[in-house]
């Protein structure tokens, strides 16, 4: 620990980036992503058709997401945001598989895999669309700390504040 404290600011930044890169490489190389995704499609969705909360599987974070459409202008959805960017746009995204939802309702389900990188922040955003307007209803926030996904907050979002 003393050797880390004696490092210059630049050396600390380089060390942090090297650790981050090693965590990403382990996530890419470790585990059977096909098997993880196949299992996640079996267990990663609730009775409402939306994704359950993310979980850690080995060196990756499994992030289910989905959309269930009642009509062309009405749907419910739940997706993950990573460091304030939707998971599908995240530079950390290792892989995402998407499938049509089973049953009579239109929609889709998706499983995204992210590397387990300390400091990563996730928001699980639940919302709905009605008559062309989209609103957020609930957000559960996580942070990766010491290789674990730790819930840091939950909040309901009042529709009057969403414009």
> What pLDDT is stored for residue 163 in this prediction?
42
Do the beta carbons of residue 121 and residue 142 sit within 8 Å?
A: yes
**Long-range contact set of residues 48-51: C-beta below 8 Å, sequence gap at least 24:** 48/76, 49/76, 49/101, 49/103, 49/105, 49/107, 49/109, 50/76, 50/77, 50/78, 50/126, 51/78, 51/79, 51/80, 51/109, 51/110, 51/124
> What pLDDT is stored for residue 86 in this prediction?
96
For the chain, what is the domain count?
A: 1
Q: Is the pTM of this model over 0.75?
A: yes
Per-residue pLDDT 10s for the chain (163 aa) are 788 788 788 887 777 777 777 777 776 777 789 999 999 999 999 988 899 999 999 999 999 999 998 877 888 999 999 999 999 999 999 999 999 876 666 889 999 999 999 999 999 999 998 876 888 999 999 999 999 999 999 999 865 544 4
> What pLDDT is stored for residue 159 in this prediction?
58
> What pLDDT is stored for residue 103 in this prediction?
63
d(CA 63, CA 110): 8
Structural domain including 59 reads 2-161
> What pLDDT is stored for residue 4 in this prediction?
77
């Amino acid at each position: 620990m003393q050797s880390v404290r004696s490092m210059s600011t630049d050396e600390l930044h380089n060390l942090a980036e090297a650790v981050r890169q090693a965590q990403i490489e382990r996530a890419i190389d470790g585990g059977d992503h096909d098997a993880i995704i196949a299992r996640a499609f079996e267990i990663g969705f609730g009775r409402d058709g939306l994704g359950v909360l993310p979980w850690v599987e080995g060196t990756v974070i499994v992030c289910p997401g989905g959309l269930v459409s009642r009509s062309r202008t009405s749907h419910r959805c739940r997706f993950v945001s990573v460091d304030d960017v939707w998971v599908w746009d995240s530079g950390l995204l290792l892989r995402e598989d998407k499938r049509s939802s089973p049953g009579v309702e239109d929609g889709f389900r998706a499983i995204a895999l992210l590397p387990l990188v300390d400091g990563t922040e996730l928001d699980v955003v639940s919302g709905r669309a009605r008559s062309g307007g989209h609103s957020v209803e609930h957000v559960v926030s996580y942070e990766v700390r010491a290789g674990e996904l730790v819930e840091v907050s939950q909040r309901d979002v009042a529709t009057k504040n969403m414009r």
